[in-house]
Amino acid sequence: MQHSEKIKGHSSVRVFENPLLEWCTHVHPLVPLLLWSPIVFLCLRSGVVDSQLSASEWSWLFVAAFFSWTFTEYFLHRVVFHFPAKSRAGKYFVYLFHGLHHDDPDDASRLVMPPVPAILIMGLLTLFFGLFFSPRYLSSFMGFFIIGYLFYDYIHYGTHHFKMKNPLARYLKKFHLQHHHSKEAAKYGVSSPIWDIILGTMTGPKKDRK
């Protein structure tokens, strides 16, 4: 089922025989920005026009969204995308979502999240955060949260695709590439190492990947 074919000069692993499904797995890096920017604008506009949030309310929502995003990124990466599945369907799901990226980390067309799973995940997260935030705050919180997601997507793209000159960017690049190449189950943060530090996964046991 899986074989390689040339896509824009790169030998890309093919995961679907259906050409439409296969096409959906390759994403231009501008797609997340074009998809989510209007949604971010509408979310934050709601905070200004509908909720009329104060400066202090904007501040705590921004901080809450930042920490919520970094933890969500860490949790999804560590628990969901590296889930030790046993069933054939489970292994296929994990491979499709993330194992493929580990097998072929230099495929530039698969470094940002495809729109369909991104929309599904963001929709579920909106319902989840709706349990904790009133409607007055939820849209603005999600606007900041999605900005965090976009930072993640483009930091991830940059760590694999660009030479980093800024010291912080160089650190994040080195940090993420160690996740790929150290052969340790560690360093699950991408846009921030904060939860690896807090939860003790800066180093970890050797991976048992086949």
For 124, counting Cβ atoms within 10 Å of its Cβ (0-12 exposed, 13-18 middle, 19+ buried), the class is exposed
pLDDT at 1: 42
pLDDT at 174: 94
Domain count, the chain: 1
The CA distance from 73 to 124, in Å, is 14
Which tokens hold the place of 120? 């599904």
Question: Considering the domain boundaries, does residue 183 fall inside one?
Answer: no
The CA distance from 55 to 81, in Å, is 37
Is the confidence at residue 114, as pLDDT, over 70?
yes
* pLDDT-wise least confident of 38-52, 134-148, 158-172: 158-172
Question: Considering the domain boundaries, does residue 192 fall inside one?
Answer: no
Question: Considering the domain boundaries, does residue 127 fall inside one?
Answer: yes
Higher pLDDT, 139 or 184: 139
pLDDT at 2: 46
Question: Considering the domain boundaries, does residue 97 fall inside one?
Answer: yes
Domain range holding 79?
31-165
Closest among 70, 66, 86, 50 to 194, alpha carbons compared: 70
Question: Considering the domain boundaries, does residue 112 fall inside one?
Answer: yes
Is the confidence at residue 79, as pLDDT, over 80?
yes
Question: Considering the domain boundaries, does residue 4 fall inside one?
Answer: no
pLDDT at 7: 46
Question: Considering the domain boundaries, does residue 60 fall inside one?
Answer: yes
Which pLDDT band holds residue 25 (cuts at 50, 70, 90)?
confident
pLDDT at 15: 81
The CA distance from 121 to 102, in Å, is 21
pLDDT at 4: 45
Average pLDDT rounded to a whole number, residues 56-76? 96
Average pLDDT rounded to a whole number, residues 63-88? 93
pLDDT at 6: 44
Question: Considering the domain boundaries, does residue 142 fall inside one?
Answer: yes
86 CB-side CA count, 13 A: 0
Which pLDDT band holds residue 10 (cuts at 50, 70, 90)?
low
